[in-house]
Structure 1
């Protein structure tokens, strides 16, 4: 599991996928989220603007990310 440091919360889900380099564009992230390919805290998430906060765990394409507020 990789820790992702965030300086504020909430952060929109699609932005995390983009900024962490898991997708190349925000548009690609939005499509993959809408297609049900991302889970947040073990639940499939289809809302691309889902608000992510400290402690949330995102899983996508074999990567697991845990948000950590700094």
Structure 2
């Protein structure tokens, strides 16, 4: 599990995937979200501009990110 320390109120999902090095670019992040490969709090989510906040979990590519 990856623990990501949030510095502000939220981080956009695409930026989170890039910040945790699970994707190499914003374009790749958008593609994996639009293809339904990302789960947000246990549910597949297709929103590219989703605001991820403390306490949330994101799953992608057999990796779990917990926002702390």
Normalised-by-shorter TM-score class: over 0.9
Q: What is residue 43 of structure 2 aligned with on the other side?
A: 43
Q: CA RMSD in A?
A: 0.7
Q: What is residue 3 of structure 1 aligned with on the other side?
A: 3
Corresponding residue SS for 2:59: strand
**What is the TM-score when the length of structure 2 is the normalising length?**
0.96
Q: Which protein has the bigger strand share? A: 1
Flag structure 2 segments of 5+ consecutive residues without an equivalent: none
- Counterpart-to-counterpart distance in 1, 2:64 and 2:35: 18
- Counterpart-to-counterpart distance in 2, 1:19 and 1:2: 11
Over residues 7-62 of structure 1, what are the superposed CA-to-partner deviations in whole Å (9 max), with x where a residue is unaligned? 01211001000011000001100011011000000000100110100000000000
Q: How many residues align?
A: 68
Flag structure 1 segments of 5+ consecutive residues without an equivalent: none
**What is the TM-score when the length of structure 1 is the normalising length?**
0.93
